[in-house]
Copies of this chain bind each other. A is one copy, B any other.
Amino acid sequence: MNYENLTPSQARHLIREGVITTQTSGLCHGYAQANLCILPKEYAYDFLLFTQRNPKPCPVLEVTDVGSRSLPQIAPDADVARDFPKYRVWRNGVLTEEVTDIESLWQDDFVSFLIGCSFSFEGELLDADVPVRHIEEGKNVPMYLTNIPCRSAGIFHGNTVVSMRPIPASKIARAVTATAAVPRVHGAPIHIGDPEQIGIHDLAKPDFGDAVTIHPGELPVFWCCGVTPQAAVMAAKPSLAITHAPGHMLITDIKNSSLKE
Number of copies: 2
For A45, what are the chain B residues with a Cβ–Cβ distance below 8 Å?
A: 44-45, 48
Looking at A48, A60, A187, the one whose CB has the most chain B CB atoms below 10 A away is: A48
Closest Cβ of chain B to A59, distance in Å, is 10
Q: Does A200 sit at the interface, judged by CB under 8 A? A: no
Give the A interface residue count (CB, 8 A). 16
Question: Which residues 153-195 of A have a CB within 8 angstroms of B?
Answer: 180, 183, 187-188
Q: Which residue from chain B places its CB closest to the CB of A53 in the assembled complex?
A: B63
B187→A261 contact, CB < 8 A? yes
Closest Cβ of chain B to A66, distance in Å, is 9
For A147, what are the chain B residues with a Cβ–Cβ distance below 8 Å?
A: none
Contact partner, A261, options B44, B63, B151, B180, Cβ 8 Å:
B180
Q: Does A132 sit at the interface, judged by CB under 8 A? A: no
Q: Which residue from chain B places its CB closest to the CB of A66 in the assembled complex?
A: B154
Give the complex CA separation of A151 and B183 in angstroms: 21
Contact partner, A188, options B52, B53, B261, Cβ 8 Å:
B261
Q: List 15 A-B contacts (CB under 8 A).
A: A44-B45, A45-B45, A48-B48, A48-B49, A48-B52, A49-B63, A51-B52, A52-B52, A52-B60, A73-B151, A180-B261, A183-B183, A183-B261, A187-B261, A188-B261
Give A residues with C-beta under 8 Å from B: 44-45, 48-49, 51-53, 60, 63, 73, 151, 180, 183, 187-188, 261
